[in-house]
Structure 1
Amino acid sequence: MRLFALAFLSLLLISGEAPASDLYLKYKLYALGLPIGSGTLSVSLNEETYSLKSSGQTAAFGRLVSDGKGTVEVRGGLNGGTLVPESYSLKVNSEDDTGTVSMQMKAGKVAKVAVNPPQDRMKERIKVTAEHLQKVLDPLSAALLPAPKGLEPDSCNRSLQLYDGKERYNVHLSYKTKRKAKTADGRFKGDVLVCKARYEPIAGHRPKRKTIQELARNKSIEVWLAPVGEASYLVPLRASIKAPFGALVVQAEKYKLSN
């Protein structure tokens, strides 16, 4: 399920007196073509600040996915179109993982982290150092990608340095193609960028863990990026990965942009 944290794993206005642009997306999670979960992403921006809120839930799917739900929220500032996160809050309640994470960030650096309950097996994990916590984004802020060139290949070609309060990792995006796409509600219909994505664990993880090794080797991850009206930002419309048991897909079904 880490892919979808990476992908969302979700508008910048040009002039001073214009109101903020708000985007609402509703997603569904599919395993082997069957719906097993849903989630939402809300994006708000003005000239100087941004905020994102996301929530989701999954239904049990054999031994692959358990019942669970969670919420995450981030707030921050904008500096020349660049996101500068300031606060991050995550709450998760599932059979596999229950707890909270909160972070305070300043100028691209993590200033304070609170994880409850604390991580276990710390001796097995690669230590997160102060150097790892510089020039990073939280996973939710990574869902809103600055794209001054719009739907050009360069908007795919980037590396995201992410920290979720527990683990530090990179997501490397690269251009694959451009294609047409639309949401089920018909409110979005147009071109999207299809980017390949590669996960690179850095610190905080257990390097001998099989799921980490498999994800780092996986070359099937794709993210479709859609424009937000005329704004210079892109958001994920779809994310997918081929797992040993079959395909996992997150697909936006509803897209609502208001100005």
Structure 2
Amino acid sequence: MKRNVLHGAVSAGVLGLAHVIVAALSPAAATQLRASYKAYYLGLPVATIGLTVDLVQDRYEARLGGDVSGVASMASGLSFEMQSRGKYRNGEVYPERYVYSSRAAKETHRQEVNFKSGNVATVAIEPPLKDLAERVPISAEHGQNVVDPLSALVAAMTSGDPKPATTCGDALRIHGGSVRADVSTSFLHMQATRTGRYRGQASLCAVRYNPVAGHLADASYVNFMRNNQQIRVSSASAGQGPFEILVHAVVPLQLGTARIELVEARIDGEVVNLK
């Protein structure tokens, strides 16, 4: 499998996670979510992923990182990390800074996006993309009224107002530095869900991923993901806590299927008993 196919799958998976709809939150309280996940490809474990979200009054900070190994990384090993921070008001996020970094063998990559008033202010990518001429150009308009992928996840998993998970149906303009995409979700139904850690009812949502700019214009995996109608994410209520927690995600790829499952979730250090 080509590395760009993997990167496309990882991006789609991460963006899928970013749109799980959630429960109530009192934004004045200091609250931390720590969740760990296991990723599978072709039925084999290929990655571990950790998510941390801190909400303190009108601020949020989030970190998502993982280590990919085996066939999914072409036996070279891949680690990645996202960091995002910004203002948080009534369930709305206003990102200020987003950083994505990855390391594979001797290769390193870093992207930083700074925001101002909901718009992209600056983008820095190191090293510069070698295939820039083959990518759909990202215009200034593409950087308006956007959020980064990790801020989108924070917005999807928190809310300033009580609302059931069945309100899934958000559409977001996401800018990660090198790629600009639209992602939308729609609620399907409640269903029994089973993972290694969770067994019970969960809200099932469909996710659509539409690459807008920054992607390779003629890449087959881009068209596949654009037309992919089978991306699914499931989430479950954390009870009286502030989060609706992702428990399961499925992303069909050109060859095989990627799956992500919750291992454990903790809120303010206490293990969450999902139900």
Superposed pair shares fold, TM > 0.5 = yes
Cα gap change, 1:15 to 1:22, in 2 (>3 Å): closer
Determine if the alignment matches structure 1 residue 237 to structure 2 residue 247: yes
Determine if the alignment matches structure 1 residue 168 to structure 2 residue 168: no
Which letter does structure 1 place at the counterpart of 2:233?
Answer: V
Question: How many angstroms does 1:243 deviate by?
Answer: 2.3
Q: Separation in 2 of the partners of 1:230 and 1:62?
A: 37
Cα gap change, 1:66 to 1:143, in 2 (>3 Å): farther
Which of 90, 93, 110 aligns to 1:80? It is: 90
Determine if the alignment matches structure 1 residue 159 to structure 2 residue 196: no
User: Any idea what the Cα deviations from partners look like across 1:117-158, whole Å, max 9, x if unmatched?
Assistant: 11222222221111111111111112221443433432x111
Residue range with higher mean Cα deviation, 72-81 or 239-248: 239-248
Identical pairs, percent:
26
Name the SS of the counterpart of 2:164 in structure 1. Answer: coil
Cα gap change, 1:129 to 1:28, in 2 (>3 Å): same
Residues 159-238 of structure 1 mapped to structure 2, 5 A cutoff? 159-181=171-193, 184-185=196-197, 191-231=201-241, 233-238=243-248
Query: Alpha carbon RMSD of aligned pairs, Å?
Result: 2.5
Determine if the alignment matches structure 1 residue 125 to structure 2 residue 135: yes
Whether the 8 Å CA contact 1:228–1:235 is kept in 2: the answer is yes
Q: Which runs of 5+ in 2 are unaligned?
A: 1-9, 270-275
TM-score by length of 2: 0.83
Name the SS of the counterpart of 1:5 in structure 2. Answer: helix
Which letter does structure 1 place at the counterpart of 2:109?
Answer: G
Q: Separation in 1 of the partners of 2:138 and 2:226?
A: 18
Question: How many angstroms does 1:36 deviate by?
Answer: 1.1
Whether the 8 Å CA contact 1:57–1:70 is kept in 2: the answer is yes
Question: How many angstroms does 1:95 deviate by?
Answer: 5.2
Residue range with higher mean Cα deviation, 137-146 or 248-257: 137-146
Whether the 8 Å CA contact 1:12–1:45 is kept in 2: the answer is no
Aligned length: 254
Residues 83-98 of structure 1 mapped to structure 2, 5 A cutoff? 83-94=93-104, 98=108
Determine if the alignment matches structure 1 residue 4 to structure 2 residue 10: no
Question: How many angstroms does 1:251 deviate by?
Answer: 0.8
Determine if the alignment matches structure 1 residue 25 to structure 2 residue 16: no
Higher relative CO (Cα under 8 Å, sequence separation at least 6) belongs to 2
